[in-house]
């Protein structure tokens, strides 16, 4: 970028959002330039912080006219490098669009600014009798816009689905600065292509999400949480099948293993949940308007488990969850991991688990492989420590195995830049070509997150 056009850009952006909201100094930009894992780092020309939809539209229009690329950013908790610059872009952070409108109880919907965090939405709903069906471990920082853009899944997908199911409408800014506002939240609305749903999961490449109209679910105040120790993944899957059939209040079913529990317990300085060690663990949560403990206990009675720890109060429940939810942080504290977020059919999980461990042990004997994930969705997070950051050989082999098992190379984190060279393992040439045509039609100058997905 030559100095004159760089200065022109900054001046134009400042005119729209004010001097304080265009960050061009390197120390101010730094936190927006590095991703959560530390694996993806790049430099941008500036970070711009619009306050509302109109400012986002003006900012995008300026960037489009000057041919400067825009990287949308929410809470920067994404794990595939799609929300940080690669070099020379402008980061458009939606962090100031935090408004949450008052609750519409009759439609069971709420309109939320793209920059509101998941946790702030959860707090907003507290005591209302309604809740948001999508939840995950990065709730304190992940934004609704980022969750829409990645079609986030999380711990309740087995009951309520992913973000896609929760989106009843969207407001978004296209690459030429025009605003689409489809916020009526109608249950039935089949007038042409469903543009909001096309933007869900598009990772900032088709439009910038400014607001979302979200469907809510009934808040279920009575909970039962239990951690089961089991023999192996096969027993974990059998337990899941049993609970799915017999426990209507089942809301979450997560899996992790002995090595992950070891790491998390020492990272958190917590006692392990059982006196002895076990090969695999299944964390289960049920929620209902009645106390679901009895139905969970009855169903589990017939299951092949080695031990169980039950939470009787909120403190113990948080403790049991922290064994699972602290995996990501505990792994990151060991070094920069290669993270592969993949899914296979639930019934294929035992075979996939055995094969992926074997593959990694053979391809990178020095590496440490920690597996955990959302059992109910066939979703494994394969974390590999001890590989060179830029060496993709093992990643590719793991994804080839996923493709062989007829799974997906991205269950919930997206493709970003981390997996773009692997997309063809999971999508046909014709499908990728159709995606490229959609991208070219909606963003002809290729300014919205270029290099992400493709």
Ligand X SMILES: Cc1cc2nc3c(=O)[nH]c(=O)nc-3n(C[C@H](O)[C@H](O)[C@H](O)COP(=O)(O)OP(=O)(O)OC[C@H]3O[C@@H](n4cnc5c(N)ncnc54)[C@H](O)[C@@H]3O)c2cc1C
- Contact residues: ligand X, CB under 6 A: 36, 71-79, 82-83, 94, 114, 136-138, 142-143, 145-147, 149-150, 152-154, 203-204, 208-209, 328, 412-413, 449, 452
Cβ proximity to ligand X, 204 vs 292, nearer residue: 204
Residue closer to ligand X, measured from CB, 145 or 337: 145
Closer to ligand X by CB, 89 or 295: give it. 89
Among all residues, whose Cβ is closest to ligand X? Answer: 146
Nearer to ligand X, 23 or 303 (CB): 23
User: Least CB distance from residue 21 to ligand X, whole Å?
Assistant: 16
Closest to ligand X by CB, 175 vs 235, is 175
Burial environment of residue 195 by CB neighbours within 10 A (0 to 12, 13 to 18, 19 or more)? middle
Q: What's the min distance (Å) between Cβ of 254 and ligand X?
A: 9
How far apart are CB 140 and ligand X at their closest, in Å? 9
**Cβ contact 372:366 at 8 Å:** no
CA torsion angle 230 231 236 237 (round to 10): -160
To the nearest whole angstrom, how small is the minimum distance from the Cβ of residue 163 to ligand X? 8
CB 92 within 8 Å of CB 48: yes
Cβ atoms of residues 417 and 80 within 8 Å: yes
Minimal distance, residue 2 CB to ligand X, in Å: 26
Q: Which is nearer to ligand X, 79 or 300 (CB)?
A: 79
Distance CA 285, CA 308 (A): 13
Q: How many CA atoms lie within 13 A of 418 on its CB side?
A: 30
Cβ of residue 308: shortest distance to ligand X, in angstroms? 24
Q: Contact, 245 vs 239, CB < 8 A?
A: no
Q: Tell me 443's DSSP state.
A: -
The least CB distance from residue 205 to ligand X, in Å, is 8
Distance CA 98, CA 443 (A): 26
For the four alpha carbons of 147, 152, 156 and 160, in that order, the dihedral sign comes to: positive
Angle at 50 between CA 48 and CA 52, to 5 degrees: 165
Among residues 209 and 308, whose Cβ is nearest to ligand X?
Answer: 209
Q: How far is the CB of 36 from ligand X (least distance, A)?
A: 5
Cβ distance to ligand X smaller for residue 158 or 300? 158
Assess contact for 16 and 58: CB atoms under 8 A: yes
Q: Cα–Cα distance between 9 and 2 in angstroms, integer?
A: 11
Looking at the Cβ atoms of 178 and 298, the one nearer to ligand X is 178
The conformation of residue 278, written as its DSSP 8-state character, comes to -
Q: How does DSSP classify residue 52? A: S
- Please tell me the distance from the alpha carbon of residue 317 to that of residue 338, in angstroms, as a whole number: 30
Cβ 7 to ligand X shortest distance, Å: 26
Distance CA 138, CA 117 (A): 9
């Amino acid at each position: 970028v030559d100095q004159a056009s760089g200065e022109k850009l900054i001046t134009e952006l400042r005119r729209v959002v004010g001097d304080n909201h265009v960050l061009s100094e390197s120390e101010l930009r730094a936190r927006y330039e590095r991703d959560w894992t530390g694996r993806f780092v790049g430099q941008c020309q500036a970070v711009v912080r619009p306050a509302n939809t109109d400012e986002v539209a003006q900012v995008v229009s300026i960037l489009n006219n000057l041919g400067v690329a825009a990287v949308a950013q929410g809470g920067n908790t994404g794990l595939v490098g799609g929300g940080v610059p690669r070099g020379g872009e402008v980061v458009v952070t939606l962090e100031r669009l935090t408004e949450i409108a008052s609750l519409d109880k009759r439609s069971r919907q709420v309109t939320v600014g793209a920059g509101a965090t998941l946790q702030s939405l959860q707090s907003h709903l507290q005591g209302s009798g309604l809740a948001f069906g999508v939840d995950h471990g990065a709730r304190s920082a992940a934004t609704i816009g980022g969750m829409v853009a990645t079609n986030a899944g999380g711990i309740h997908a087995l009951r309520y689905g992913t973000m896609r199911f929760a989106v009843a409408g969207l407001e978004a800014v296209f690459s030429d600065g025009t605003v689409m506002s489809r916020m009526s939240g109608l249950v039935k609305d089949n007038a042409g292509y469903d543009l909001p749903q096309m933007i869900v999961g598009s990772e900032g490449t088709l439009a910038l999400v400014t607001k979302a109209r979200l469907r809510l679910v009934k808040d279920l105040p009575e909970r039962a949480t239990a951690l089961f120790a089991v023999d192996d993944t096969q027993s974990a899957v059998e337990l899941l099948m049993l609970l799915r059939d017999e426990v209507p209040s089942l809301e979450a079913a997560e899996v992790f293993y002995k090595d992950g529990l070891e790491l998390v317990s020492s990272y958190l300085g917590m006692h392990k949940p059982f006196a002895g060690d076990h090969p695999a663990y299944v964390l289960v949560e049920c929620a209902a308007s009645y106390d679901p403990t009895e139905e969970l206990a009855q169903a589990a009675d017939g299951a092949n488990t080695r031990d169980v720890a039950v939470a009787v109060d909120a403190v113990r429940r948080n403790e049991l969850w922290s064994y699972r939810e602290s995996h990501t942080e505990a792994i990151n504290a060991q070094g920069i991991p290669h993270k592969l977020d993949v899914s296979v059919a639930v019934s294929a999980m035992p075979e996939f688990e055995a094969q992926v461990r074997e593959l990694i042990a053979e391809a990178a004997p020095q590496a440490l492989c920690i597996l955990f994930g959302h059992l109910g969705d066939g979703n494994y997070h394969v974390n590999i420590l001890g590989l060179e950051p830029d060496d993709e050989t093992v990643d590719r082999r793991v994804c080839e195995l996923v493709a062989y098992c007829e799974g997906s190379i991205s269950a919930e984190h997206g493709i970003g830049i981390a997996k773009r060279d692997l997309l063809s393992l999971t999508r046909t040439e014709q499908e990728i070509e159709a995606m490229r045509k959609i991208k070219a039609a909606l963003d002809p100058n290729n300014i919205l997150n270029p290099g992400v997905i493709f």
